[in-house]
Structure 1
Amino acid sequence: MALLSWNEIRARAIKFSKEWEGETSESAEAKSFWDSFFNVFGISRRRVATFEKSVKKAGGEQGFVDLLWKGVLLVEHKSKGKDLEKAYNQAKDYFPGLKESELPRYILVSDFENFVLYDLDEDGERRFKLNQFPQNIELFGFIAGYQKQEIREQNPVNIHAAEKMGELHDKLKIVGYAGHDLEVFLVRLLFCLFADDTGIFEKNLFRDYIEEETREDGHDLGFYLAGLFETLNTPVENRAKNIDENLNKFPYVNGSLFAERLGIATFDFEMRELLLESAALDWGLISPAVFGSLFQSVMDVEQRRTLGAHYTSEENILKVIKPLFLDDLWDEFEKIKNIKTRREEKLNEFHEKLASLRFLDPACGCGNFLIISYRELRLLELEVIREILRGQMTLNIDLWVKVDVDQFYGIEIDEFASQIAQVALWLIDHQMNMKVSNEFGEYFVRLPLRKKPHIIHGNALLLDWDSVVPKKELNYILGNPPFVGSSLMTKEQKEDLKQVTKVIPKAGSLDFVTGWYIKSSDYIRGTKIKVGLVSTNSVVQGEQAIVIWRYLMYQKDVEIHFAHQTFQWNNEAKGKAAVFCVIIGFSSMGGLPKTLFSYPNIKGEPTSKSVDMINQYLLEAPTIFIDVRRKPLSDVPPMIYGTKPVDGGQFIFTEEEKEDFIQKEPLSEKYLRPWIGSHEMVNGYQRYCLYLADCPPQELRKMPYVRERIEAVRRMRSESKKPATQKWAYYPTRFIEDRTMDGDILIVPSHTSENRKFIPVGYFEHGTIASNAVFQVIDPDKYIFGILNSSMHMAWTRTVCGRLKGDYRYSNTLVYNNFIFPEPTEKQKSDIGKKAQKILDVRSKYTDSTLADLYDPLVTPPDLLKAHQELDKFVEKTYGKTFKTDEERVAFLFEKYKEKKYRQELNSSNRKS
């Protein structure tokens, strides 16, 4: 039986309220009253609820629930004029005696004349009288099948349902029902469970079929389900004449969901109970957008431990689809609403446009992006229909709803996820149909399923996307392709990416996600297709930003038209490293309006502004590709890597190890020198290295413990698999890359936390050896120290450096050598040196604090912060300008970089000529 329309329900409610007007006796008429109440919504009370269920109350005594619909509704009925507050408390007293799956979401109390409905999930209550019932029927959408649906990402119902399905999955797998058949089987069960609570099937039809038709031991359940699936795939007129009456109540579904013949699943008592427990949940509350990912995660026991963490949040999806298409469509609709001439014609044209749009997610997973996009498109269509009809009654609402699931395309490498995506789109379609039914009072359902989403199971990097959807028909590409760094890819992923990137020079360091950028740029060239992709922020940092975007912008004519700068992806499991993402919207159309979203707080909400340009670093600045340089572009001392010993740890000592070694080998003391790497420098502890480059042979022969270590280094190098290392086995007293500097050195760590406002740069005395985890430069007058500690240099670093996770990965060839130092007068240079010295003086006051302590943004001493601010003023004065933001600083430096590089190239050209 189909759902009743709201118009029909309202008419029945009016009749019900008149029929029961003046009734007073609880004992005489309560059961008939509630049978009639359920009939208002076209539901047989016997199908869903029982009277007088025996339950142990909170105090232990026996009680009887007036009416219980397990897991949904508990009714407590009183005679007219009785205290309904007392009735509510009595209803709550039954809860300790109910199973978890029986606990209701709603409590309804009544005395014939008055009603109070309590929503225990939302902690709300609504009161009305019998004669007001027709105006309050929407409160009971959960009875009628018009379930109010909100996307609640952490809704316990989503997680509980996924856990139940996960248990069933495991048990089926244990008994040998696995692989493709198991995946399709579970997806079909998902559809049936959802259909049971949302009006696709009669209320509880699937649950009752299992409960009433199959044996308790479960042994015949697999056969009955196979028969059900066959029935759902058969039009009613083509079914056998003597088909079981209960089986024939199921509608014809079609849509290919039940077309494939599967092996028969085997069940036992426990597995049957699991399925019935799943059916007892209210699947009308479950969000297809969230549940799909949860459902997929049940396949993995490890992932199941963090259910609720592995979904793409609606908030993040909207960050993509709103600037990609949704905002523009709403703006267009608002303009059409306000025109005076040809208004209805324009509304109809706009409606046709909505029905013509085509969307592709080429890494769709369980379909989250497609589901939310479809829902938002349907919500907009609903507003359009409202405007067209303007209060007119319609008896053919199906003629007005034109947006459908066949407008959506997806590619997914995981077969199970691709099946979930297809079903989830049908489910969200049904939820939107219920919303339309609620709006216009006419029941609207698309059954049998005549159209289906185009979800392709395949490898998006190897597929021709034009074979999935011709580019001339597509409007938008969207999604979040896999986040896999270049060093973490599997062998297969590397090979797949290589097929896409082979046309790009220096593509070896590209992350896996860049394959989707390249495929998109190839596909959209010469079209009006717009793309919006989520990816880790590595695609706009370091050398990767140069390699990928030089190809996209120069070879494929890509232009960025909206972007979200780095923000923290907020849906990772607890205990996992944070993921820092960007969203980039692009096309091959020039001149589109541009919007840039920035995050004052990386975990907070963005601010947006219209800009004239967005470059590959997602800044309002010119598009300039900064290449690796071997020498500084400015007239400054060179910065080089530190020393790389390749000694197997034989020449490196802690403070305690050094003292012990000197006790055994006193002559070694003068060859043990301070050793500084990033970790030692920032965290303030000392290590030493045995530096033997200037130790004469006759002295080495007097130090047996030193000779032992030399022999260990020789052996380690000779056993190396690298030929270059093997050669150095002949020189075991030397470091393989010795870059020891003769003088005081300024050291910059190669890696540092992105939380710090400044990279903790430091000075070290002559004799200190810098490790290969830092960079070093000679800076006798503190000028370089001052510039590197300035906000100008830090803004540049944040933009062009690479990242390791979220942390800065400093580079001499990319960051330092390309940075445009100011051209100061001698006095300005001296002033900067003095302000730099002030920073060092303030640091020295905090003798017990490490650089990590001093530059922790939460505890940086005020006088140190002030010293940096004073330095900034002098540095910016040297550039001849003051800046309010880092974006202004970077835009200025880009312009200076372009000018400087152009002058150098011009001078070089003139010299050659």
Structure 2
Amino acid sequence: MTPDEFIIKWQRTTLKESSAAQEHFCDLCQLLDELTPAAADPTGAVYCFEHGTIKTTGGKGWADVWKDGHFGWEYKSAGKNLDQALKRLQFYAPALNHPPLLIVSDMAQIIIHTVFTGTVPDQYTLTLNDLRDPSKLQLLKWAFSDPEKLRPIDTTAALTERAARQFSEWAAALRQRGHDSAAVAHFSQKLLFCLFAQDIGLLPNQLFTRLLENGLKYPAQVEQMLTSLLNTMAPGGLFGSEAIDWFNGGLFAEVQPLPLETADLKTLHSFTKLNWSAIEPSIFGTLFERGLDPKQRAQLGAHYTDPNSIMRLVAPVVLMPLRKEWQSVQKEMLQLKTAADAAKSPAVRDKQLTKLRALLTGMLERLNQFHVLDPACGSGNFLFLALKGLKDLEHEIILAGEQFGLMRAFPTVSPHNVLGIEKNHYAAELARVTVWIGEIQWMLQHGFSLSKNPILKPINIIEQRDAVVNADGSEPEWPTADVIIGNPPFLGGSKKRGLLGDDYFAALETIYDGRVPAGADLVCYWFEKARTQIETGKARAAGLVSTNSIRGGSNRKVLDQICQTTRIFNAWSDEPWVNDGAAVRVSLISFGEIKTPPVLNDERVAVIYADLTAGSSEIKMDVTTAKPLKENVRVSFQGTKKYGAFDICGDLARSWLQIPNPHGHPNSDVLKPWRNGKDITGHVSDTWIIDFGIDISEIQASLYEMPFQYLLDHVKSYRETVRREKTRRKWWIHEEARPGLRRAIKGYFRVIVTSLTAKHRFFVWLSTQILADQALIVISRADDTTFGILHSCFHQLWSLKMGTSLGTTPRYTPTTTFETFPFPIGLTPADTASHAIETLESGAIIPSVASEYRAHAIAIAEAAHQLNQLRNHWLNPPEWIDRVPEVVAGYPDRIIAKPDYAAQLKQRTLTNLYNQQPAWLVNAHQQLDQAVAAAYAWETELNEAAILQRLLQLNLARCASYIE
């Protein structure tokens, strides 16, 4: 059939849809040289007319024509509303396997709607005469044979980022002119909703665009026009000759337009060209919030957490348990339907159908009463995705009810199902807008008319307040909900006091004493609150995000408690995430009373432990049960935390060392070489630090003229801005001066140090004349035996298992990695605590130990000494360097590269060495491992699981011996 023949035939027809639809479609197939449904698929499994016809009721199918993976096609008689046909296809799209194209047609036109996931929808309208145009005909051909060719280029993510950026920049310009940030945010959110409402047809006839165009003509009147529109949208009514629906919902309760300049209006008018109906609420809220909040402005262009990542919590906590319930109900319904169809008595049949309807109604009511709480809801992306998932499930159930021959229900899941707590007022208000937009989008995209009077139902369930501390210092109550989800704030335990203030920190310590360790990250309080809600019956389960450091250290104690009172049933131990625009590594943890087999990192396991590792049925080994050993305490310490510009360059320090002071004491009292993590893993920088110890008074400190004046100029004003009272008051002292560390290393000439975070776990010697930074962990021992044990594969494996990580980089947390590690008997830190040491002929140093353990101490020390010598020779070949004494005796010599070797020496770092793993290094470590294995009386060929199991048994046995 030619285009002309097709056009002539169908121009003349006056047949109704029921009489003409299938013949019209078959003619199209002939025109496009495509097989008809019956010819292409005789079984009708993937391509047919009247797909989904309900046999029991004789009702119409889900689509007049359906081709799986291509389209759903719905016909209407000439002159009938094709929008209604589209709504029908949208409603039945899940039953049609979500085809990428929804096509509606009468005999005079064909409209193709693209609905590819994650894209901005396109629409192609073809009249009969358009079929003479090969390019238009090609569109239809692609619909039948290659729908991917119709996939829109613009994605909803790209559109959303563009819209959020442009609108946020517009809002920033208003703030720069002196308008209050909160007023700009409120005004912006109202205008945002106007743009959205216009594009979905709630503001008729491009009303908002016309208002802006009139505003450009009459700038003096624009504030009055906007006030009038927004005031009309609150109760509904007439705006000029246009009827406006009742919006309400609180968004338009207070209308305070800001004065707009011509440039503002032009920019705002340009926004109307964007398709606001297609913005993605799950990411728009986050991006828009950053633009409205001046504190987050720098993150506007940063990445956001993608919806798929959020669904790793929403799915197991919210949706999968409900789907399991629905599967059970569906099975019962099928049994009742079968019994009803087989019943010979009308009374029996009616009884079965009554039960059938009750089951469906009960499941729908279950969803209607289901509540999800996000106690750190931000701009609402978790709540929106949870609501969307609940509505999708409800829609599936409604469709199933039709298939069972029951009357179609109207969806009742709505914003009332989601609850939120959010401290930030920008985010709290935006969360409501996000949920509103998401609800409206979903209803329209699934073929439902909007519930009105008002359109925006009040959302009073997103509370603006703190979730873990009340203003009066008491513990807040969380609303009862079925489940809890969210992404609580990430703030390291060491930063809490400085950023939150002494009062808030003290309140946390008081409220959560015995429940959350004082040194734990802020996110841990949300985990403990959620655990308490589950324990007291106010929630069934929770799914929360944390930095992956929750797996170890003091943080893990909250997961220990969770495992004691409930269970972790789903977790992702170490995943990429974006938090406040920054890329981080997180753990996603779902816990509570949901009865489902545990899943860790998308794999079924027997049990999930508190460190987010899996147990198996073969080996019962939970290393999180390991406890600190008393012989290991007060041995490992974190270096000092300066909190201010106490560090200075070496040349400046040397110049001060030669300057006398009024009281006759040298500046060497308060100047020390300084080392941080990069100095250990990379190259040593020539950095010194001003260190006034732990208790020197300000008057005493001032007598060291040059160092004190430097702190006056560079530290004091900075310290005055912090919240912690002690940090402000003693501004010349390091914020964490570590008195315990200073006592522990007194009397030692050297100590063992390792970087807090490092790709490779190695240890080095550090002179006690050098001050260690907080990025270093200091082990207060000077003997090679302890050095060797720490460097063995046994401690390496234990520290990886028991530590945490920063991103993908392992983190050495002393409380869990060192204090729990069981040293070989006779060689524990307590046994070697004395400063009494012995230097062997080789130069290796052993501690004073009992005679029966001396041979093992020597073997380990010799191997460790050899390893250290080899490494030092590789790092600093004598032929390449000069050793220069410091200007004051007692400090370690400086290592200076000879002129021709600076570039080569720069590549000699411990990180590079352990990346390369040369044979000599591997052999040296193997020799050391053999010596340590002999001290344990273990064979040397143990696998990792066996090593961990034996170390755990040693730990638990020693803990038990304390009790005995």
**Coarse TM-score class (shorter-chain normalised):** 0.5 to 0.7
Equivalent residue for 2:600?
Answer: 596
Say whether the 8 Å CA contact 1:644–1:738 is kept in structure 2. Answer: no
Q: Which of 273, 278, 285 lines up with 1:285 in the alignment?
A: 278
User: In structure 1, how many angstroms separate the alpha carbons of the residues matched to 2:787 and 2:682?
Assistant: 19
User: In structure 1, how many angstroms separate the alpha carbons of the residues matched to 2:748 and 2:386?
Assistant: 63
Q: Where in structure 1 are there 5+ consecutive unaligned residues? A: 1-8, 22-35, 44-102, 119-124, 143-147, 598-606, 691-707, 728-734, 907-913
Q: Does 2:921 align with 1:864?
A: yes
User: In structure 2, how many angstroms separate the alpha carbons of the residues matched to 1:659 and 1:182?
Assistant: 54
Equivalent residue for 1:581?
Answer: 586
Say whether the 8 Å CA contact 2:423–2:466 is kept in structure 1. Answer: yes
Change (3 A) 1:826 1:192: same
Q: Does 2:642 align with 1:632?
A: no
User: In structure 1, how many angstroms separate the alpha carbons of the residues matched to 2:307 and 2:450?
Assistant: 26
Of 894-903 and 812-821, more deviation after overlay is shown by: 812-821
Give 1:19-34 correspondences, 5 Å limit: none
Say whether the 8 Å CA contact 1:628–1:813 is kept in structure 2. Answer: yes
**CA offset at residue 290 of structure 1?**
0.8
Equivalent residue for 2:466?
Answer: 459
Give 1:216-615 correspondences, 5 Å limit: 216-235=217-236, 239=237, 244-245=240-241, 247-248=242-243, 250-258=244-252, 260-300=253-293, 303-309=296-302, 311-334=304-327, 337=330, 340-342=334-336, 348-390=361-403, 399-437=409-447, 448-449=454-455, 451-453=457-459, 454-462=461-469, 470-471=479-480, 474-489=481-496, 495-496=503-504, 498-503=506-511, 504-505=513-514, 507-527=517-537, 528-546=539-557, 548=558, 557-570=565-578, 573=581, 578-587=583-592, 589=593, 593-597=597-601, 607-615=602-610
Say whether the 8 Å CA contact 2:487–2:544 is kept in structure 1. Answer: yes
Equivalent residue for 1:786?
Answer: 788
Of 286-295 and 845-854, more deviation after overlay is shown by: 845-854
Say whether the 8 Å CA contact 1:16–1:40 is kept in structure 2. Answer: no
Equivalent residue for 2:31?
Answer: none
What is the TM-score with the length of structure 2 in the denominator? 0.63
Say whether the 8 Å CA contact 2:372–2:484 is kept in structure 1. Answer: yes
CA RMSD of aligned residues (A): 5.6
Give the secondary structure class of the aligned counterpart of 2:164: helix
- Residue type at the aligned position of 1:762: V
Equivalent residue for 1:128?
Answer: 140
User: In structure 2, how many angstroms separate the alpha carbons of the residues matched to 1:645 and 1:496?
Assistant: 21
Query: Which deviations, in whole Å up to 9, do the C-alpha atoms of 1:490-524 show, x marking residues without a partner?
Result: 66565345434414158543333233233333433
User: In structure 1, how many angstroms separate the alpha carbons of the residues matched to 2:645 and 2:208?
Assistant: 68
Change (3 A) 1:814 1:268: closer
Give the secondary structure class of the aligned counterpart of 2:573: strand
User: In structure 1, how many angstroms separate the alpha carbons of the residues matched to 2:922 and 2:336?
Assistant: 63
User: In structure 1, how many angstroms separate the alpha carbons of the residues matched to 2:280 and 2:294?
Assistant: 22
User: In structure 1, how many angstroms separate the alpha carbons of the residues matched to 2:672 and 2:424?
Assistant: 54
Query: Which deviations, in whole Å up to 9, do the C-alpha atoms of 1:837-881 show, x marking residues without a partner?
Result: 664465345644777444566544465356546755775684747
Say whether the 8 Å CA contact 1:642–1:769 is kept in structure 2. Answer: no
Q: Does 2:960 align with 1:902?
A: yes
Query: Aligned pair count?
Result: 734
Query: Which deviations, in whole Å up to 9, do the C-alpha atoms of 1:734-755 show, x marking residues without a partner?
Result: x976946567x56222x3433x
Give the secondary structure class of the aligned counterpart of 1:520: helix
Q: Where in structure 2 are there 5+ consecutive unaligned residues? A: 1-15, 29-76, 85-119, 338-355, 616-620, 661-665, 690-700, 717-725, 734-740, 827-852, 878-904
Equivalent residue for 2:210?
Answer: 208
Query: Which deviations, in whole Å up to 9, do the C-alpha atoms of 1:334-358 show, x marking residues without a partner?
Result: 5555665237565554333222210
Say whether the 8 Å CA contact 2:164–2:288 is kept in structure 1. Answer: yes
Query: Which deviations, in whole Å up to 9, do the C-alpha atoms of 1:183-216 show, x marking residues without a partner?
Result: 33322222221122234444634323443x5452
User: In structure 2, how many angstroms separate the alpha carbons of the residues matched to 1:379 and 1:149?
Assistant: 25
Say whether the 8 Å CA contact 1:565–1:582 is kept in structure 2. Answer: yes
User: In structure 1, how many angstroms separate the alpha carbons of the residues matched to 2:24 and 2:226?
Assistant: 41
**CA offset at residue 278 of structure 1?**
1.1
User: In structure 2, how many angstroms separate the alpha carbons of the residues matched to 1:205 and 1:839?
Assistant: 78
Change (3 A) 1:166 1:793: same
Change (3 A) 1:790 1:257: same
Give the secondary structure class of the aligned counterpart of 2:544: strand
User: In structure 2, how many angstroms separate the alpha carbons of the residues matched to 1:854 and 1:366?
Assistant: 42
- Residue type at the aligned position of 2:488: P
Change (3 A) 1:579 1:206: same
Say whether the 8 Å CA contact 1:642–1:770 is kept in structure 2. Answer: no
Say whether the 8 Å CA contact 1:493–1:512 is kept in structure 2. Answer: no
Give the secondary structure class of the aligned counterpart of 2:431: helix
**CA offset at residue 359 of structure 1?**
0.5
Say whether the 8 Å CA contact 1:675–1:768 is kept in structure 2. Answer: no
**CA offset at residue 683 of structure 1?**
3.4
Query: Which deviations, in whole Å up to 9, do the C-alpha atoms of 1:606-661 show, x marking residues without a partner?
Result: x533232422566645475666666338xxxx956699999x99999959987998
Change (3 A) 1:520 1:831: same
Give the secondary structure class of the aligned counterpart of 2:495: coil
Give the secondary structure class of the aligned counterpart of 1:266: coil
Give 1:64-143 correspondences, 5 Å limit: 112-113=130-131, 127-128=139-140
**CA offset at residue 313 of structure 1?**
2.4
User: In structure 1, how many angstroms separate the alpha carbons of the residues matched to 2:21 and 2:227?
Assistant: 43
User: In structure 2, how many angstroms separate the alpha carbons of the residues matched to 1:820 and 1:388?
Assistant: 62
- Residue type at the aligned position of 2:171: H
Give the secondary structure class of the aligned counterpart of 2:446: helix
User: In structure 1, how many angstroms separate the alpha carbons of the residues matched to 2:640 and 2:148?
Assistant: 73
Give the secondary structure class of the aligned counterpart of 1:290: helix
Identical columns (%): 20
Give the secondary structure class of the aligned counterpart of 1:579: strand
Change (3 A) 1:711 1:277: closer
User: In structure 1, how many angstroms separate the alpha carbons of the residues matched to 2:927 and 2:450?
Assistant: 69
Query: Which deviations, in whole Å up to 9, do the C-alpha atoms of 1:458-516 show, x marking residues without a partner?
Result: 22234599998752xx1111111112234434665653454344141585433332332
- Residue type at the aligned position of 2:455: L
- Residue type at the aligned position of 2:952: F
Give the secondary structure class of the aligned counterpart of 1:365: coil
User: In structure 1, how many angstroms separate the alpha carbons of the residues matched to 2:487 and 2:641?
Assistant: 42
- Residue type at the aligned position of 1:796: W
Say whether the 8 Å CA contact 2:379–2:431 is kept in structure 1. Answer: yes
Give the secondary structure class of the aligned counterpart of 2:412: coil
Say whether the 8 Å CA contact 1:158–1:291 is kept in structure 2. Answer: yes
- Residue type at the aligned position of 2:396: E
Give the secondary structure class of the aligned counterpart of 2:489: coil
Say whether the 8 Å CA contact 2:639–2:778 is kept in structure 1. Answer: no
User: In structure 2, how many angstroms separate the alpha carbons of the residues matched to 1:713 and 1:595?
Assistant: 60
Say whether the 8 Å CA contact 1:166–1:299 is kept in structure 2. Answer: yes
User: In structure 2, how many angstroms separate the alpha carbons of the residues matched to 1:544 and 1:222?
Assistant: 53
Say whether the 8 Å CA contact 1:651–1:709 is kept in structure 2. Answer: no
Say whether the 8 Å CA contact 2:541–2:594 is kept in structure 1. Answer: no
User: In structure 1, how many angstroms separate the alpha carbons of the residues matched to 2:17 and 2:490?
Assistant: 51
